């Protein structure tokens, strides 16, 4: 039976801007079960990155709670790993691919053999065994993003959190990375929470899509994606249910958009 791994209750977040408080997120409630893939979507500027920062302990929560296994998240939880969109800024250019992937493992103080195995397995999972001794700047954008994912995999987090991880790669690479996500969830039993702007990607990848809308942001809908598994880029995307879900989510996002500020003279 599934059980909630990540529980967010009544979470609110305000930023202080020029001396006044701006509330970005209000009373947001949702949970993620172990092994689930949940996509978070919503209009630009709604607070998706802010929410991920609260979930990963990089930002404090103004009120409400976020818990992993019933423990309040007060700093970066050991059980989580993060992948950001900007791989160019997240990889160390002076370290080889292998050393980049190994980096977070130092913190775990693993026996050398265990660390070697994890690095090798993670690189193999993303198809980069041959690139271990190269430097990030010698790789294509898609390959660099794979290194960032391999680094998260080697850490073996229970929860992998990703913020628009595939936004800057070409369509073909994007499909490959999406399938990689499905594969690692199946292989490692990992829970995945990702933010994406791509509605098709959200539907294709996830078990559930959480739609954020309005200012301050709330969950406007949580939609179960009951598309058959295993998913396939061609047949799944051609299903009538796929199109229906995509239309429903598109309309929800449009309805929850933040109204543009009135133009000032």
Ligand X SMILES: Nc1ncnc2c1ncn2[C@@H]1O[C@H](COP(=O)(O)OP(=O)(O)OP(=O)(O)O)[C@@H](O)[C@H]1O
**Chain residues that interact with ligand X, rule: CB under 6 A:** 15, 17, 24, 42, 44-50
Minimum CB separation of residue 259 from Mg ion in Å reads 19
**230 binds, options Mg ion, ligand X, none, Cβ within 5 to 8 A by partner type:** none
What separation in angstroms does the CA of 80 have from each of 48, 61, 159, 184, 227? 17, 17, 5, 15, 27
Residue 84 or 188: which CB sits closer to ligand X?
84
Minimum CB separation of residue 48 from Mg ion in Å reads 5
Minimum CB separation of residue 206 from Mg ion in Å reads 17
Which residues are within 8 A (CB) of 175 and not within 5 positions of it... i.e. 6 or more apart?
233
- The helices-and-strands tally (H runs, E runs) of the chain is 8, 10
Minimum CB separation of residue 113 from ligand X in Å reads 40
Stretch of 45-53, 69-77, 151-159, 209-217 lying at the interface with Mg ion (CB under 5 A): 45-53
Restricting to residues 144-183, which ones interact with Mg ion according to CB under 5 A? none
Minimum CB separation of residue 217 from ligand X in Å reads 8
**15 binds, options Mg ion, ligand X, none, Cβ within 5 to 8 A by partner type:** ligand X
Contact present, 47 and 216 (Cβ < 8 Å): yes
Please select the residue that binds Mg ion; options are 11, 40, 42, 49, rule is CB under 5 A. Answer: 49
**213 binds, options Mg ion, ligand X, none, Cβ within 5 to 8 A by partner type:** none
Residue 46 or 82: which CB sits closer to ligand X?
46
Q: 6 preceded by cis ω (within 30°)?
A: no
Residue 150: exposed, middle, or buried by beta-carbon count in 10 A (0-12, 13-18, 19+)?
buried
Residue 49 or 144: which CB sits closer to ligand X?
49
Stretch of 46-54, 72-80, 124-132, 146-154 lying at the interface with Mg ion (CB under 5 A): 46-54
Contact present, 193 and 160 (Cβ < 8 Å): yes
Strand order, beta sheet including 159-163? 80-83, 159-163, 191-195, 37-41, 208-213, 218-224
Q: Tell me, rounded to whole angstroms, the distance of Cα 133 from its chain centroid.
A: 27
Residue 55 or 81: which CB sits closer to ligand X?
55
Minimum CB separation of residue 212 from ligand X in Å reads 7
The helix (H) or strand (E) run that includes residue 159 is: strand 159-163
Stretch of 48-56, 99-107, 111-119, 229-237 lying at the interface with Mg ion (CB under 5 A): 48-56
User: What tokens does 125 get?
Assistant: 């999972």
> Does residue 64 sit in helix, strand or coil?
strand
Minimum CB separation of residue 85 from ligand X in Å reads 9
**24 binds, options Mg ion, ligand X, none, Cβ within 5 to 8 A by partner type:** ligand X
What separation in angstroms does the CA of 2 have from each of 37, 39, 56, 69, 233? 13, 18, 22, 13, 27
Interface residues toward Mg ion, by CB under 5 A: 48-49
């Amino acid at each position: 039976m599934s059980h909630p791994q990540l529980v967010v209750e009544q979470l609110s977040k305000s930023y202080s801007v020029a001396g006044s408080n701006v509330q970005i997120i209000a009373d947001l409630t949702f949970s993620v079960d172990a092994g689930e893939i949940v996509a978070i979507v919503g209009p630009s500027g709604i607070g998706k990155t802010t929410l991920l920062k609260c979930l990963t302990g990089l930002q404090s929560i103004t009120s409400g709670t976020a818990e992993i296994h019933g423990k309040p998240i007060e700093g970066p939880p050991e059980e989580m790993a993060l992948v950001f969109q900007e791989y160019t800024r997240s990889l160390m250019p002076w370290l080889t691919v292998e050393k980049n992937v190994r980096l977070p493992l130092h913190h775990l103080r693993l026996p050398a053999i265990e660390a070697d195995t994890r690095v090798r397995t993670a690189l193999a999972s993303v198809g980069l065994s041959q690139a271990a001794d190269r430097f990030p700047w010698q790789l294509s954008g898609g390959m660099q993003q794979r290194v960032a994912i391999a680094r998260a995999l080697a850490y073996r987090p229970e929860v992998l959190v990703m913020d628009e991880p595939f936004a800057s790669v070409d369509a073909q690479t994007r499909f490959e990375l999406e399938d990689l996500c499905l594969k690692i969830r199946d292989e490692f039993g990992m829970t995945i929470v990702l933010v994406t702007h791509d509605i098709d990607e959200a539907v294709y990848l996830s078990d559930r899509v959480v739609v954020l809308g309005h200012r301050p942001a709330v969950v406007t809908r949580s939609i179960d994606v009951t598309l058959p598994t295993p998913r396939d880029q061609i047949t799944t995307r051609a299903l009538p249910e796929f199109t229906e879900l995509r239309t429903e989510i598109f309309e929800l996002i449009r309805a929850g958009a933040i109204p543009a500020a009135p133009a000032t003279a």
